[in-house]
Amino acid sequence: MKILLCCGAGASTSLVAEAMKKAVSPEEQKNYVIDAKSYDMFYEVYSRYDVILLGPQIRYKKAEAQKVAGEMNIPVDSIDPMDYAMQDGLKILNFARAMVAS
């Protein structure tokens, strides 16, 4: 599964991405790509991913991102602010998994 995290500058989501990578079991690591990018890069890279998560600070971009990514059936949602602040990698990873499964 390829997961894209986007935020304003990509810095805070990189910390969340690292927490998510740590939550992936060693046996599953080869099956995951978890990247953090600035939303400015969204249009250049979104099509390479299976699911897109937006940082809470740019959740106002959700409808725009859903419209664009939805054309390729790529689910988009924003990360829960508390999970984001706590850098709960496992909870956010499970959220992304559920988005792809539905």
Active site residues per annotation:
7
**Interior CA angle at 92 toward 40 and 54, to 5°?**
20
CA atoms of 70 and 62, how far apart (whole Å): 11
**Considering just the CA atoms, what is the radius of gyration of the chain in Å?**
12
The single residue listed with the structure tokens 């390829």 is 2
